[in-house]
Amino acid sequence: MSGNTRKYVLTGLMTALVFVLTFLVKIPVPYTSGYIHLGDSMIYLSVIVLGPFYGAFASGVGSMLSDILGGYAQYAIPTLVIKSLMALIMGLVLSGKTRRASVTSIVSAFLVWVAFSAGTMLYLQGQIQRIGESKLVTDIAGPTADAATIKSTTDVLHLLPLYFIVGVAATIAIFSIAFYFFSKRDGNQVFTVRAIVGMTAAGMCMVMGYFVVESFMYSPVAAIFSVPMNMVQFFGGVTAASIFAPAVKRASLVFER
């Protein structure tokens, strides 16, 4: 089988796998009408098998088709963009062949995270001012809340952007480190340092991307509730990728013959 034909066949296979694992396993997310799934595991593996550009096609198209056919058509275009960016970011991190290129890709991933974080903090602060602090406090604490509850809710609201960014960053970092040491003990070659950095950058892109999209579709407060679920999806995707990796690698080797 020629190189181009093999690439096209593997791209079709990975697109189908992204679609199937996204379409078949759905856990609804309250407040945003979205859902979490295991399709991200195939996104990570598609990048490892196909590289950044073919991997982006498989990731974006497979995920978008699942939204369209699964009754979530309002997410189709945002999903196409976000999932393609996930694959591109991870692929660029993995594509560095030299030490300098690796450092550059890691620094670039960090800068992307900083940009997302800064933009999200500014956006949250702007939305809090636009909606009104008193209305948000009443919506969160409830109309019958006592003075102590209102005060504590107000204090949390003031620091919400900072809590949000620090919480997401710390959780992703902790779990990524844990996955790395777990896989190192088991000798899993998928989870190299570079792959962990790439998956983490892709996970950041997904969490922050859907937060921004759902903030416009619904509200910033509702979108915040999707963040923990999207982080669960990120961790579940990494775990599932480690399970599926041997089978996917064997399948890719068949097409090399």
Compute the average pLDDT of residues 105-116: 70
Q: Is the predicted pLDDT of residue 245 greater than 70, yes or no?
A: yes
Q: Is the predicted pLDDT of residue 204 greater than 60, yes or no?
A: yes
Supply the pLDDT for residue 80. 95
| Average pLDDT score, the chain | 77
Cβ–Cβ < 8 Å for 215, 164? no
Give dist(CA 10, CA 194) in Å, integer.
Answer: 23
* Domain enclosing residue 217, as ranges: 3-254
Give dist(CA 230, CA 7) in Å, integer.
Answer: 30
93-113 as b/e: b if 16+ CB within 10 A: bbbbeeeeebeebbeebeebb
Give dist(CA 14, CA 57) in Å, integer.
Answer: 9
Q: Give residue 44's identity as a one-letter amino acid code.
A: Y
Number of domains making up the chain:
1
Instruction: Please report the sign of the dihedral spanned by the C-alpha atoms of residue 67, residue 60, residue 26, residue 232.
Output: negative
Q: 3-state DSSP: the chain helix, strand, coil percent, rounded to 5?
A: 85, 0, 15
Can you name the residues that pair with 35 across neighbouring β-strands?
28
Can you name the residues that pair with 171 across neighbouring β-strands?
none
Can you name the residues that pair with 29 across neighbouring β-strands?
34
What radius of gyration do the chain's Cα atoms show?
20
Supply the pLDDT for residue 54. 93
Could you tell me which of 108, 141, 147 has the C-alpha nearest to residue 221? Answer: 141
Helix (H, G, I), strand (E, B) or coil at 83: helix
Give dist(CA 162, CA 167) in Å, integer.
Answer: 8
**Angstrom distances, CA of residue 75 to CA of 7, 63, 71:** 28, 10, 9
Compute the average pLDDT of residues 180-190: 56
Can you name the residues that pair with 82 across neighbouring β-strands?
none
Provide the token pair at 178. 């844990």
Residue 191 or 208, more confident: 208
Instruction: Please report the sign of the dihedral spanned by the C-alpha atoms of residue 225, residue 226, residue 230, residue 233.
Output: positive
Supply the pLDDT for residue 97. 63
Question: Where does the pLDDT of residue 66 fall: very low under 50, low under 70, confident under 90, or very high at 90 and above?
Answer: very high
Supply the pLDDT for residue 160. 67
Question: Where does the pLDDT of residue 57 fall: very low under 50, low under 70, confident under 90, or very high at 90 and above?
Answer: very high
Cα torsion through 160, 163, 168, 171, rounded to 10: -150
